Chains A and B, each alone.
Chain A
């Protein structure tokens, strides 16, 4: 489990079970994220990857099992303690979730202004430093509506970094980006993780990008972990459901056809009625 450093994991999920309505999204799911690592959580659409981030961030509560972040049991925390913990985690939403009535500078300044009482010159410097990290110091006066998708995601990243978090959770950071923006985000996730001594959790279904930056990969399916390992392990594995996902094959254990009645009898029904 202790993939890279052998230290205590920053995030530990044990026996997690979660239902949405009456459908089980997770059943007895366990995984851990080592401190200082980039861990990718992969899986097809609808396997609950984003839900897992909501559970780690304490926005949803599990039916069973434990979610531990930095030694604290997330589902048992009071709202106040949960908010204190959230100040130490950054989250990057797929939609970037920038505040549309504020410009880039104020968006990055937002968490700093909300949580600290720093004088204006210091806030200015902090914000410009975060923007410099993502290469958008020159874009500080733009509004979210004027940004491209890739730029918006970088601003959201700068904002997630504003309070110097222990870890950052990325929800589908590569989706819907052109190749250049994608390469920028890939580079940023890895470099910021190492330079700032953070831990990163990347939820994605982009195999190539995940393999290029992750230290450890979990592959989810049917509400549990169906495979885990380093990118090299994952490529070598022969398990058919892993091979299908890693190589992007249209048919396999995950069937091409949605469950349906038998084809011929389904077609002949029309003739007999």
Chain B
């Protein structure tokens, strides 16, 4: 009997998860026409990029600098064993542009701006602001949801690039200032070793995908939230959890494809 209970419980969870994914997909379908309309009123999108970007910029700058500095210390520690410390710049740049920049930025964005996005839309629903718009003959999907979705999608790649750039600067400061590496070698190794197409563009594609997924989850959870304070708080938590899992899972899949040269 207990095994039956476990199996049926597992089944229920899987079905609930798949149903939720289906609802999210349907929501995206309903949002799609609104995305076009929102682009024609780009001022609203710019406003939202400003709001979400500012929300996340400081945390991205600080984290980027620290991650770069840590990479320099750890990388040097390993490379020096093989007398390859001159490649430190290359190691840091590749790690950041291919992997850490897109992934960490998306995780930070989900925690900072994604959760705020969910809470904002959820609260607008809970306080009848969305119903009020409907009754004023204003469709909230293109007016409220679509600009926020675009903003997240656009902001994440921009922030990821900033993250990588700041990280490289942080690494340079540690490598040249503290570890005594030659600045010219640091840059020239990086310049000759990093490929724009494979490394920079690959990282950019990743962050575009992450931006799409995080924004999608954030606006869906907000719009789908139960219109109570408890419902909104649950939705906010779900945004962070689902986004983080989705980012890491998708990162694995995309990395596997990119490394095998698709």
A111 touches B138 (CB 8 A): yes
Q: Which residues of A contact B58 (CB under 8 A)?
A: none
Among A84, A89, A95, which residue has its beta carbon within 8 angstroms of that of B128? A95
- A sample of 7 cross-chain residue pairs with beta-carbon separation below 8 angstroms, ordered by A number, consists of A93-B135, A97-B127, A100-B129, A114-B136, A114-B138, A115-B138, A156-B132
Q: Which residues of A contact B182 (CB under 8 A)?
A: none
Q: How far is the CA of A83 from the CA of B135 in the complex (A)?
A: 8
Instruction: Mark interface residues in B119-159 (1 if CB within 8 Å of A CB, else 0).
Output: 00001100111011011111100010000000000000000
Instruction: Mark interface residues in B188-225 (1 if CB within 8 Å of A CB, else 0).
Output: 00000000000000000000000000000000000000
Q: Does A57 count as interface, using CB distance less than 8 angstroms?
A: yes
B143 touches A114 (CB 8 A): yes
Among A57, A97, A115, which residue has its beta carbon within 8 angstroms of that of B129? A97
Q: Which residues of B contact A87 (CB under 8 A)?
A: 136-137
B132 touches A93 (CB 8 A): yes
Q: Does A86 count as interface, using CB distance less than 8 angstroms?
A: yes
Summarize A's interface: helix, strand, loop or mixed. mixed
A93 touches B131 (CB 8 A): yes
Instruction: Mark interface residues in A100-140 (1 if CB within 8 Å of B CB, else 0).
Output: 10000000001100110000000000000000000000000
Q: Does A249 count as interface, using CB distance less than 8 angstroms?
A: no
Taking the closest CB of chain B, its distance from the CB of A168, in whole angstroms, is 11
Q: Does A8 count as interface, using CB distance less than 8 angstroms?
A: no
Q: How far is the CA of A215 from the CA of B135 in the complex (A)?
A: 25
Q: Does A147 count as interface, using CB distance less than 8 angstroms?
A: no
Q: Which residues of B contact A57 (CB under 8 A)?
A: 135
Q: Which residues of A contact B137 (CB under 8 A)?
A: 83-84, 86-87, 111, 114-115
Taking the closest CB of chain B, its distance from the CB of A17, in whole angstroms, is 23
Q: Which residues of B contact A86 (CB under 8 A)?
A: 134-137
Contacts A95-B127, A100-B127 given; does A83 touch B132 at CB 8 Å: no
Q: How far is the CA of A84 from the CA of B124 in the complex (A)?
A: 23
Taking the closest CB of chain A, its distance from the CB of B39, in whole angstroms, is 17
B128 touches A93 (CB 8 A): yes
Q: Does A157 count as interface, using CB distance less than 8 angstroms?
A: no
Among A91, A95, A115, which residue has its beta carbon within 8 angstroms of that of B135? A91
In the complex formed, the residue of A with least CB distance to B120 is A101
Q: How far is the CA of A31 from the CA of B58 in the complex (A)?
A: 59
In the complex formed, the residue of B with least CB distance to A91 is B135
B135 touches A59 (CB 8 A): yes
Q: Which residues of A contact B127 (CB under 8 A)?
A: 95, 97, 100
Taking the closest CB of chain B, its distance from the CB of A20, in whole angstroms, is 16
Taking the closest CB of chain B, its distance from the CB of A178, in whole angstroms, is 21
B128 touches A97 (CB 8 A): yes
Q: How far is the CA of A159 from the CA of B129 in the complex (A)?
A: 13
Q: Does A201 count as interface, using CB distance less than 8 angstroms?
A: no
In the complex formed, the residue of B with least CB distance to A79 is B139
Q: How far is the CA of A83 from the CA of B124 in the complex (A)?
A: 20
Q: How far is the CA of A57 from the CA of B134 in the complex (A)?
A: 10
Q: Which residues of B contact A97 (CB under 8 A)?
A: 127-129, 131-132
Q: Does A99 count as interface, using CB distance less than 8 angstroms?
A: yes
Q: Does A98 count as interface, using CB distance less than 8 angstroms?
A: yes
Taking the closest CB of chain B, its distance from the CB of A176, in whole angstroms, is 14
Q: How far is the CA of A111 from the CA of B123 in the complex (A)?
A: 21
Q: Which residues of A contact B136 (CB under 8 A)?
A: 86-87, 110-111, 114, 159
Q: How far is the CA of A59 from the CA of B134 in the complex (A)?
A: 8
Taking the closest CB of chain B, its distance from the CB of A167, in whole angstroms, is 12
Taking the closest CB of chain B, its distance from the CB of A170, in whole angstroms, is 12
Residue with the greatest number of chain A CB neighbours at <10 A, chosen from B127, B129, B136, B143:
B136
Q: Which residues of B contact A89 (CB under 8 A)?
A: 135
Q: How far is the CA of A89 from the CA of B134 in the complex (A)?
A: 11
In the complex formed, the residue of A with least CB distance to B128 is A97
In the complex formed, the residue of B with least CB distance to A113 is B138
Residue with the greatest number of chain A CB neighbours at <10 A, chosen from B123, B124, B134:
B134
Q: How far is the CA of A93 from the CA of B127 in the complex (A)?
A: 10
Taking the closest CB of chain B, its distance from the CB of A48, in whole angstroms, is 17
